[in-house]
Structure 1
Amino acid sequence: MAFLGVLAFSGSMPATVFAIRGFDPWLVAIGRAVIAGFIAIICLKAARQPLLPPRSQWPAYALIILGVVLGFPVFSSLALGLGASTAHSAVIVGLLPAATAICAVLRAGERPRPLFWAACTAGAAAITAFTLIQHQGTPSWPDLLLLGALVSAAIGYTEGGRLAKHTPGWQVISYALVLSLPLTIPVTTALSFTTPITLTWDAVAGFAYVSVISMFVGFIPWYAGLAKGGIARAGQTQLTQPLMTIAWAWLLLGERFGALTVVAALAVLVCVAVTQRART
């Protein structure tokens, strides 16, 4: 389940690159939550579920909103808009499993074994070294924005995984999206009238992907996987996401990679296998 979510998320960066070719990065980041929010309302109505969660859970949903509804989309869209390449941006995804595991320890009370932490560290180091060697990245504003995206996603994933233990994953992301609409609708409306828009097929397709798949559909199996497998352990499946993202960038954007990708892929797969065997 977690891997299905990762597969859906792996196309987010290339799709965002396509989207910002025709839309302002702020509009892409905020507008996707509006489209996904209306889909969430339709799903909740069809399932005859309330449109809002219990008030006692609103603080947790506020963290999800700040993390994955607003934080990650805004930071990543701005970083890509400032020229960060898709493959370089994949560095943050390589570090996400480690950051999510730390949040799980602090927030969800999980206590992974030392073997888990060793494999997690090795996997994060391998994928980070791979992306940095490939693109010779140096600290810059895009890097700081990507760091903000990393922290935001880790917090949102942890809170969503906690709530998904008692609430179906699709309802968790639906409630977060609906609760964010009073903010995202007026901001999106203002941006629609004040920023330039160029309607092209690739821009519209990219916007549709990040709105429907990245912002809604992908979270359904992702949160379910975190709830069933443990936030820290299931979250390690995301170590495969950078390589999938780079593969999509090669197929869709023409970015190239060499034989080092094969070595990094094998290293990541080994680390994921070890983390899956290390019970929390």
Structure 2
Amino acid sequence: MPGRTDALLATGFVLTWSSGFIGAELGTRDAPATTLLAWRFIIAFGLLGAWAIWRRRRIPRRDLALHVIIGVLGQAGYLYGVFAAVEHGVASGTTALICALQPIVAVALAVPLLGESVRARQVAGFVIGLGGVALVVGADLEAVPGVPLLAYTLPVGAMLALVAATLVERRTRPRIGLVDALTVQAGVSAVIFSVLSAGTGTLAPPATPTFWIAIAVLVVVAMFGGYGLYWINLARTGVARVSSLLYLTPPATMAWSWLMFGTTLTPVSLLGVLVCAVAVVLIRTRETSVRRPALPAANRPCRAP
């Protein structure tokens, strides 16, 4: 039942992707963003690399190069922009709102570059979804004194990096499976953040339990779950439909925060959740006039068409 499977994959993506913000909040209490990201990718690459060595599977040079680029953009670029913005004092709600522009930018570029069609109902959905996100994170949009203006360019850069990674993957369509792709991306990200941390003298991890709990959440749930499901959903649907799910991540993050940290759920925030849900329903109607080619059976759940 493709419809039910797509719904389950979409739900899993929203829940696991939003868990990354919780891991970030836990981890940055004890260490800088670069330290947290360095150890996230060191451990992730260690696990994935061991699996790759055991499998002894060769990655074609073209796919290796493509996933290095995708990893630099969609892993290192996106995550550094988000984490560094918070570290420099940008409110998490402001960061989330800026990153929520990703669906609009992605679809605006996907139409001319990828030939994907978008209906008027979906355009309305994107606009409504942005309004819903604004309601959810509105309390965080108050001006924070002492934050440099340049810091606000970090979430913008993060959003653009994820858009670029998405378009590169859809345009080039690498042929390797998801696990191999994540191995390459984790490897290049581990190198980038290890060099950054070592250069600033922050590579040594703290010994606090919460830091390693955060690492576990970021590696197992957010990366293997959230980031993996992002590409699986992208392979099964299109840029418009999978990008629309990002509108649900701020409300989902709010729910995570309520469960774990006792964050207050205001009526305005709950209204925003409802608005986001309506937007996603509008966007995720059948919209493409171009039929997607069928994936080979051996790799259907793991790679883009």
TM-score with structure 1 setting the length: 0.84
Change (3 A) 1:77 1:22: same
Instruction: Kindly state the Cα deviation for residue 10 of structure 1 after the two structures are TM-superposed.
Output: 0.3
Show structure 2 runs of 5+ residues with no match: 1-8, 289-305
Q: Name the residue aligned to 1:153.
A: 162
Deviates more, 1:249-258 or 1:203-212: 249-258
Q: Name the residue aligned to 1:204.
A: 212
Q: Does 1:230 align with 2:238?
A: yes
8 Å CA contact retained: 1:113, 1:278: no
> Which residue, out of 107, 110, 121, partners 1:104?
110
Secondary structure, counterpart of 1:10 in structure 2? helix
8 Å CA contact retained: 2:78, 2:159: yes
Structure 1 residues 198-240: Cα deviation after superposition (integer angstroms, max 9, x where no partner) = 3222222112222333233322222111111112222212211
Secondary structure, counterpart of 2:100 in structure 1? helix
> Which residue, out of 111, 119, 122, partners 2:125?
119
Greater per-residue helix proportion: 1
| Runs of 4+ in structure 1 over 6 Å off | none
Instruction: Kindly state the Cα deviation for residue 162 of structure 1 after the two structures are TM-superposed.
Output: 5.4
Distance 2:16 2:282 in 1: 23
Max Rg structure: 2
Structure 1 residues 66-86: Cα deviation after superposition (integer angstroms, max 9, x where no partner) = 222211221111122123344
Change (3 A) 1:72 1:115: same
AA matched with 1:108? L
Q: Name the residue aligned to 1:94.
A: 100
Identity across matched positions, percent = 20
8 Å CA contact retained: 2:106, 2:243: yes
> Which residue, out of 160, 168, 178, partners 1:169?
178
Q: Name the residue aligned to 2:26.
A: 18
Change (3 A) 1:162 1:227: farther
Change (3 A) 1:107 1:66: farther
AA matched with 1:168? G
Change (3 A) 1:142 1:210: farther
Q: Does 1:79 align with 2:85?
A: yes
Change (3 A) 1:130 1:107: same
Show structure 1 runs of 5+ residues with no match: none
Instruction: Kindly state the Cα deviation for residue 128 of structure 1 after the two structures are TM-superposed.
Output: 2.6
TM-score with structure 2 setting the length: 0.78
Structure 1 residues 133-165: Cα deviation after superposition (integer angstroms, max 9, x where no partner) = 322334944432221221122222333455667
8 Å CA contact retained: 1:24, 1:197: no
Question: Would you say how many aligned residue pairs link Structure 1 and Structure 2?
Answer: 276
